[in-house]
Structure 1
Amino acid sequence: MSRKRKKARIKPGTSGLRKKVRVFLKPNYTENFVQAIFDAMPAPGPKDSVVVVGGDGRYYVKEAVQIIIKIGFANGVKKFIVGQNGIFSTPAVSNVIRKSKADGGILLTASHNPGGIDNDFGIKYNISNGGPAPESVTNAIFAASKSLSQYKIDISKIGTVNFGDHSVEVIDSIEDYFTMTKEIFDMDLIKSFIKSHPEFTLLFDGLNGVTGPYGKRIFIDELGLPANSIDQCVPLEDFGGEHPDPNLTYAHKLVSNVHSKQIDFGAASDGDGDRNMIISKDWFVNPTDSVAVIADYAKLAIPYFKKSGIKGLARSMPTSAAIDRVAHQHGVSVYEVPTGWKFFGNLMDAGKLSICGEESFGTGSDHIREKDGIWAVVAWLNIIAYVNKDSPKLIGIKDIMNTFFEKYGRNYFSRYDYEEVDSDAANRMYSDLKALCYGGLVGQSFLGDKFVIASADDFEYTDPIDHSVSKNQGLRIVFDDGSRIVVRLSGTGSSGATIRIYYEMYENRPEHLMMDTQTALKPLIDIALQITKLEEYTGRKEPTVIT
């Protein structure tokens, strides 16, 4: 097959290339980017390589699989491993890359963004460790994209199809992932808990994304929960017209069902299966608290960590310091990294990290090199089973959180997302705020002397493993009591800009541990709006999403 080279500026971000579907449908657009991936594959390159391919089932996944196979064979790929019908959650791809010792994987997903012909699509390349490609590779892909007959495979049938020296193996990605899950968690303990506490109710919402079949296999087929314990668990190309993002705004059906049906344990995952949300009839678990609780109980409750121990803990910079307190208590190192799972991957490969998380509902461990939504849900279920093993009365999520706060104090945390903001306005606001951080903010006080700015900067990270430097990772305004305001511009959407403002305040007074989050943080929120002048720059009075 001859390559068609067409100049383009196709630059992948931290989560790959994300655009509207109709952009990918333009002549040669998808083909050019896929070819750029093969051009940029780390040595020895695509010849005789094994590549894993699949996605979250959104619109255009099946067509893109065919394009990747065609171009891959032309570049000398020896074997493709493809999820049946193209279905492959992001964490499951990472697992198969590692298990099969593949040379990499191509994921077809726009994560938690909407699907359908008028919405989003994405292509992401993972390297041989199962994690997202580092900047050196994504930069090479971008460079290749600027310089830049058919095979038709039936991907609905499990089995191997050979084409001379090349082959395509279609696998049951759900069963592979389930096998991994059984090796990590104490399924017998969970089953015993469910049997001894028949009053316990669970509801898992797949949000019409890729994790529905995974949830059914684990919660219904394996654990024997009632059929009504899962909802929206059939993957749909447009996610049923919904936004497959597991947060309080977009997972509104789950939130409503949990409250109206008084569910003890509600959970959701996103479109490609790498994010999660945990909620109960009387508590929402902030993702920054969620990873800290999992880390605190890991060696006690989860067989994988009983065996391996905890090598270290980590969080993305905007994520609250709750997990830092757990690390200190357990006597292990904690790392603060930029947003992007590849930074965790380097630490994991070096044997320095076991459990990590991002405030954007991403939680995971060194079992793979991606965040893992189902893993986090089952981890919580394992913890609930553990704390209830000797208790005749159900100890619920709110009880677990109250115990955690009494032990460590509480890092009140919230994130405000202002989505699809005019890009020019967002950039002006951000640029002017950055200038303030380096000239005039330090020493300013608010509400008398209650909040005094101790430092302000643009977060910069030097990787302790490969010593690469990542600059411009987010503006940090830190007060003398440890409270923080963080401001970032996000590039995960396919149109406009997203301004994210993060708020964090530590509290250890017993009578103040179970307050409403927004009430506790309101003084800090008012200060942030005053400093950033967000409404003046953008015209936005309210955020699109509050986490």
Structure 2
Amino acid sequence: MIQTVSTMPFNDQKPGTSGLRKKVRIFEQPHYAENFIQSVFDSLDGFAGETLVLGGDGRFLNREVIQIALKMAAANGFGRVLVGQGGILSTPAASHLIRSSGAFGGLVLSASHNPGGPDEDFGIKYNVSNGGPAPEKVTDAIHARTLSIDSYRIFEADDVDIDTIGVSQLGDMSVEVIDPVADYADLMESLFDFTAIRAMIAGGFTLAFDSMSAVTGPYAVEIFERRLGAPAGTVMNATPLPDFGHHHPDPNLVHAKDLYDRMMAPDAPDFGAASDGDGDRNLIIGRHCYVTPSDSLAVLAANAHCAPGYAIGLKGIARSMPTSGAADRVAEKLGIPLYETPTGWKFFGNLLDAGMATICGEESAGTGSDHVREKDGIWAVLLWLNILAARRQSVAQIMAEHWATYGRNYYARHDYEAIAKDRADALMAALRDRLEGLPGTVNSGGTVSSADDFAYTDPTDQSVSRNQGVRILFDDGSRVVFRLSGTGTEGATLRVYIERYVGPDGDLGLPTGEALAPLIAAAQDVADIAGHTGMDQPSVIT
């Protein structure tokens, strides 16, 4: 039986770049999740009898919200829901399933790389029929509906068994519980030379993959250990846990320190990698050689032809504005377009759909291609492995040759977390007020050549996105970028991106901190970060 439940709006349900993310305690409020899901459905047209994909990263509250979403989908007229067994579905696997099944869209329950547990984070994101995150016009409509909603519809029934693969009914809607791994693993096998990678591993090549007690564990065990023949135990922290084992599932040098220390040890494996809470980010570390996400994007693009799925070449490369310019030089040498977009994977979707780009990446550890419409951590690891198998060189050798060819973009991101929102907004407002007077001034970073607030015109539909981050560019090609992140759940996070380019004939072996020190000082001075935030040091440096 369908129930119509009266409700009142919540004023804090504006989706960010990756859906709605809040603390679990907020989502546990009566009607909170229901309001948002109903607002999503109310913002869509034409889904009666259609298919919805549903799954998440297994974090705390995942199973409970899946039951709510199933019952609401039935009450609102969907004809079929495909749900990952146990409620598990990585974000890239969900994107693939939406595309391969012809689904109307999907609900992805995740807060990505944010911590999980009863006192941590939860999230809901709607993906559209191309498999990618909802564009701004859809998220704007969802937000508008959350402010006026007065009721939601839900099917009154017992909970659905989501642990047994098979089909059941929820009113007039069928619920299909599917293997969350098999189709995705098959897709990976169609893109990469598994035979060559398997032979490399059989020949003694060693690797370590840290799933961080998050969603990629089942995917990584199936692909790396079963299909590619890596020894059991190659995948670390392989069981998804609701609290991610009390760890922060963000694949960076702070939260994946155990992997980093292992890769820097004398007896390190040949290759190390990690992925995050929902499987869309990646960390790449060779033996004694960390690869920044920006450099990884450039290397993957330059060598993608090593993999069968990309042997015919790339149509274009897209990167987010804060990502370093390393990929730009690859695009120039390949004679293909380079697109600079705002942060947020949804901005890549139009380029991919239009066939204008093949590989995309963000400095925040996300890379992917036109095989899905999300960034994809395991995809990036497999492309690296395919390149290593084809070139028969170490990660360090590949990086050295890359920099000798293209030059090196020394790069770091400094995050100042949990800043009071009014202070963060005041810092950005003061920066914007200074932009006009900055060109021609001199500071520790050098002479400022230009300064602006990045705006993007989408080449496929001419839509414009403004206020996407403050850029300060220097005469020598260096730059500092300031941006407030939309992925946190508490306060505001200021991200400061620092980049210095050194050509192939320059000093390519400097420690990153040393190479960037003058620009780091310039960023502090120009933005008065300490004065606005009270923080003398960033919370995290990646």
Q: Report TM bin, short chain.
A: over 0.9
Task: Answer whether contact 1:402 1:514 (CA < 8 A) is retained.
Answer: no
Quote the residue 1:521 is aligned against. Answer: 516
Residue identity opposite 1:214 in structure 2: Y
2:270 is equivalent to residue 275 of structure 1? no
Is contact 1:4-1:32 (8 Å) kept?
Answer: no
The offset of 1:509, in angstroms, is: 4.8
How far apart are 1:511 and its partner, in Å? Answer: 5.3
1:118 corresponds to 2:113:
no
Map Cα deviations across residues 405-457 of structure 1 (whole Å, 9 max, x no partner): 0010011111000111122211111110111013x11110124xx71111111
Does residue 1:59 correspond to 2:84, yes or no? no
* 1:150, distance to aligned residue in structure 2 (A): 3.0
CA contact (8 A) 1:5 1:147 kept: no
Q: Distance in 2 between matches of 1:358 and 1:174?
A: 25
**1:256 corresponds to:** 261
Who is 2:357 aligned against? Answer: 353
Q: How far, CA to CA, are the matches of 1:230 and 1:217 in structure 2? A: 10
Match of 1:536 in 2: 531
Structure 1 residue aligned with 2:431, among 419, 422, 433? 433
Match in the other structure for 1:340: 344
Letter in 1 for 2:441: Q
Distance 1:150 1:40 in 2: 25
CA distance in 2 between counterparts of 1:5 and 1:422 reads 30
3-state SS of 1:360 partner: coil
535-544 or 142-151: bigger deviation: 142-151
1:220-241 Cα shifts (integer Å, max 9, x gaps): 1111111131110100000000
What's the CA shift for 1:166?
1.3
3-state SS, counterpart of residue 2 of structure 1: strand
1:317 maps to which of 316, 321, 335 = 321
Residue 449 of structure 2 corresponds to residue 454 of structure 1:
yes
Task: Percent identity, please.
Answer: 52
1:369 aligns to what? 373
Cα distance change on mapping 1:430 and 1:228 into 2, 3 Å: same
TM-score (norm 2): 0.97
**TM alignment of 1:65-80, pairs within 5 A:** 65-80=66-81
Partner of 2:479: 484
Letter in 2 for 1:210: V
Superposition pairs for residues 417-428 of structure 1, below 5 Å?
Answer: 417-428=415-426
Contact between 1:456 and 1:477, CA under 8 Å: does it hold in 2?
Answer: yes
The answer to whether structure 1 residue 444 and structure 2 residue 449 are counterparts is no
1:235 and 1:259 map into 2 onto residues whose CA distance is 26
Contact 2:276 2:282 in 1 (8 A): yes
Note if contact 2:405-2:504 (Cα within 8 Å) is conserved in structure 1. no
**Are positions 1:222 and 2:222 aligned together?**
no
Letter of the 1:20 counterpart: K
Residue matched to 1:391: none
Confirm whether residue 173 of structure 1 aligns to residue 174 of structure 2. Answer: no
Q: Is the 8 A contact 1:61 1:86 kept in 2?
A: yes
Aligned equivalent of 1:28: 31
Q: Say if 1:428 and 1:537, in contact at 8 Å, map to a contact too.
A: yes
Partner Cα distance (1:113, 1:426) in 2: 20
Does the CA contact (< 8 Å) of 2:331 and 2:338 recur in 1? yes
Give 2:194's aligned residue: 187
Change (3 A) 1:150 1:163: closer
Matched-pair contact (CA < 8 Å) for 1:339–1:358: yes
For the 8 Å contact 2:99–2:129, the answer to whether it is kept is yes
Cα shift at 1:351: 0.7
Determine the structure 2 residue equivalent to 1:464.
Answer: 459
Match of 2:9 among 7, 10, 19: 7
SS of the residue corresponding to residue 512 of structure 1 reads coil
Deviations 1:362-392 (A, max 9, x none): 000000000000000111011100101xxxx
Q: Which amino acid aligns with 1:40?
A: S
2-structure distance, mates of 1:498, 1:491: 8
Deviations 1:157-195 (A, max 9, x none): 011112453100011111111000000101011112223
Q: CA deviation at 1:3?
A: 3.9
Alpha-carbon separation, structure 2, partners of 1:170 and 1:279 = 36
Q: Which residue of 2 aligns with 1:416?
A: 414
1:292-331 to 2 correspondences below 5 Å = 292-299=298-305, 301-307=306-312, 309-331=313-335
Instruction: Measure the CA separation in 2 of the matches of 1:426 and 1:284.
Output: 31
Q: What is the one-letter code of the residue matched to 1:5?
A: T
Normalising by structure 1, we get a TM-score of 0.96
CA gap of 1:509–1:184, structure 2 versus 1, over 3 A, is closer
Q: Is the 8 A contact 1:70 1:151 kept in 2?
A: no
Mapped partners of 1:522, 1:398: distance in 2: 24
Looking at structure 2, the residues matched to 86 and 350 of structure 1 have their Cα atoms a distance apart, in angstroms, of: 32
Aligned residues: 532
Cα deviation, residue 514, structure 1: 2.0
- Quick one: distance in 2 between partners of 1:217 and 1:4? 45
Indicate if the aligned counterparts of 1:66 and 1:151 stay in contact, CA closer than 8 A: no
Offset of residue 257 of structure 1: 2.2
Aligned residue number for residue 494 of structure 2: 499
- Secondary structure (helix, strand or coil) at the match of 1:411 reads strand
Could you tell me which amino acid in structure 1 is paired with residue 14 of structure 2? K
Residue aligned with 1:51, SS: strand
Contact preservation (8 Å) 2:404, 2:504: no
Letter of the 1:52 counterpart:
V
Q: Give structure 2 stretches of 5+ with no counterpart.
A: 150-155
Q: Is the 8 A contact 2:263 2:288 kept in 1?
A: no
Provide the rounded CA distance (Å) in 2 between the counterparts of 1:333 and 1:3: 51
Aligned to 1:285: 291
1:233 to 233, 238, 250: 238
Q: CA RMSD in A?
A: 1.1
Match of 1:266 among 248, 263, 272: 272
**Secondary structure of the structure 2 residue equivalent to 1:442:** coil
Return the offset for 1:281.
2.6
Query: Structure 1: which 5+ residue stretches go unaligned?
Result: 389-394
Quick one: which amino acid aligns to residue 133 of structure 2? P
